[in-house]
Each structure stands twice: as structure tokens, then as C-alpha cells.
Amino acid sequence: MGYKCAAFGCTSGYKRYATDKAVTFHSFPLTNKELCDRWNRANPRQGYTPTPHSRICSLHFRSCDFVEERTDSNMARRKRKAKLLGDKLVNRYLKEDAVPSIFPQAPEYLSTKCSGPRATVSATASSRLEQEAQRLEELEQSFHAADDITDDSLDDIIDKLKAETALPTGFTVTKSDSVLLIYLLQVSDSIPTITACITLHGDRSVVVSVDGKSVAASHFSDLLKGPLRRMSQLVNVIARVKSLSQTADNACRPLKSGKGTDSSGQPSQRPIDQKAQDRQADEQAAQ
């Protein structure tokens, strides 16, 4: 028929571009001024004045803008039209009040989404959401798979610990006999001391020690109960052990000068109760 689409940026009907055979062309509703104005406002092509020869192609309408009919009594014509619309033996007519709303070449906000049940646009959006959800689920599964160390050998765990970015600093990892040692080493006057250690056995049981004494499992039972199964559990236990060793460190170490005194040079009294504070204030007031 030789129609060209008048929609912004559309190449339907232009010889240089291939136009899908299923694309249909629809004349502007020139006899209905209000509707015609809506078409013009919808079309991002500014200042376009449609003529009786102007057409907008079907790519700019939602599927819910069409009615499908099977009422054509002329079988030959019906078959010919049906072929144009794919293999379905149906005719499509634009609804009387349909307004073009899909302009893929224009900024996205100029296209409106279909709210009907046959909404191609929103169906695509929801399937995109589904795909996104599926992708996230796969990601989570792969994370859990990587985190699972049930079937890993102690050497595999060493490799994973070396690759672990969230590992607290200062720990050394060694395999000794059939156990894995993850420990903190402190060197004082050339004498090394293991200040804290996590010992992982082949059966995945964990023993924690700080300053040469074993730490009750209740100190980390919120992080690990029973045998070790996941890398994230191990990383959390290592972090807990580091903080336990630092607490033990501070408790044992003598106070350095300058610490533990207030600004007047007197040892600070803690806790200062309210009565003592009041008495101090009274004494100051009396002077």
C-alpha cells in the first residue's frame, strides 16, 4: 500500500528498512477532533499535522487497543488478512477510542503501559521481574554452594581462607597432622607466643583457645553449634576469637602511664555515684 508511519522515529513503511508483514497501518481519526488531538499529543513528533493519508503503524498500540474478530464472511479475504497477522485466523481492528502509546524511539516516559489483562508491555515487565528474581535466587544458591565446606578437605579450607576477604587480620593458617590451626602469634623479646587459636579437626569439630586456655563453646555457640559446615561460620568464629583475645590482652596488661588517671592527675574513680558528685559540688560551693 506504500504507507509510511508518522510516529516519532518509526521506520515502518520506509523502503530502506524492512517492515514486518504483521505491521498494520492506521489512519488518524480526523473526524473526531478530540481523539485526533490525543493522537497528536501522544506522538512525540512535535508540530505534526496529519492528513487523510497519514498513518500510524500498529507497533505504537498495545495489544489491548485491538479487537480481534472472526466475522469476515469473505473466506478468501479473511485468509489473506489472517496471513498478514501471522498464522492465526483472526482479524485485528483498532478500537474506536484507541490512542497510540508506544514510541520505542522516544524517551521512555512518553510511552504508557497497558493495564488490561492482555497487556504485552506489562507482561514483559513482569516476566523481566521474574527473571530478575530467578537470577537473584541462582546467585544466592551459588553463594550457599561456595559457602558450604562440608565436603572440603582441610587443604581446600586453607585455600578458601586465603581467598577470604572478610578474614580478620593477623591470623596464620597452618595444617598440622590432621588438624587445621588458625592462630594469632605475638612475638615479645624474640619469644613467640600463640595468643589465640582455632583448631579445626577432620571431623569438623572446633576447639578455641585463648592464652593457652580452652574457651568454652558457649562463648561462640551463637555463631557455631556442632560441627563446622560453612565458611561464613568459620570467619565469624575467627572474628570472635580475635575480640576475645583482645579483651584478655587488656585485662592482663598493666596500665600504661597516662591512662587511668583524670586530668587532675588523680586516679579516676569509677563509677562515680550521684551522691559523691553532689558532695563534690557542695564542697566547691562552700569554698
Task: List interacting residues with Zn ion (CB under 5 A).
Answer: 5, 7, 10, 12, 57, 59
Number of residues that this document lists for the chain: 287
Q: Which three cell numbers stand for residue 118?
A: 492482555
Cβ atoms of 130 and 100 closer than 8 Å: no
Cβ at position 138, least distance to Zn ion in Å:
38
Looking at the Cβ atoms of 85 and 215, the one nearer to Zn ion is: 85
* Short-list 253, 129, 217, 167, CA closest to 159: 167
Looking at the Cβ atoms of 114 and 224, the one nearer to Zn ion is: 114
Residues 232, 174: Cα–Cα separation, whole Å: 19
Cβ at position 101, least distance to Zn ion in Å:
12
Cβ atoms of 55 and 43 closer than 8 Å: no
Looking at the Cβ atoms of 58 and 195, the one nearer to Zn ion is: 58
Looking at the Cβ atoms of 86 and 104, the one nearer to Zn ion is: 104
Left if phi > 0, otherwise alpha if psi is -120 to 50, otherwise beta: which for 92?
beta
Cβ atoms of 93 and 85 closer than 8 Å: no
Cβ at position 130, least distance to Zn ion in Å:
29
Looking at the Cβ atoms of 43 and 209, the one nearer to Zn ion is: 43
Looking at the Cβ atoms of 110 and 248, the one nearer to Zn ion is: 110
Cβ at position 12, least distance to Zn ion in Å:
4
Cβ atoms of 196 and 245 closer than 8 Å: yes
Looking at the Cβ atoms of 102 and 228, the one nearer to Zn ion is: 102
Cβ atoms of 66 and 26 closer than 8 Å: no
Cβ at position 44, least distance to Zn ion in Å:
12
Instruction: DSSP for 141-157, please give it.
Output: HHHHHHHB-TT--HHHH
Residues 241, 235: Cα–Cα separation, whole Å: 10
Phi and psi at 37, nearest 5°, equal -60, -40
Cβ at position 5, least distance to Zn ion in Å:
3
- Angle of helix 120-147 relative to helix 231-252, nearest 10 degrees, comes to 60
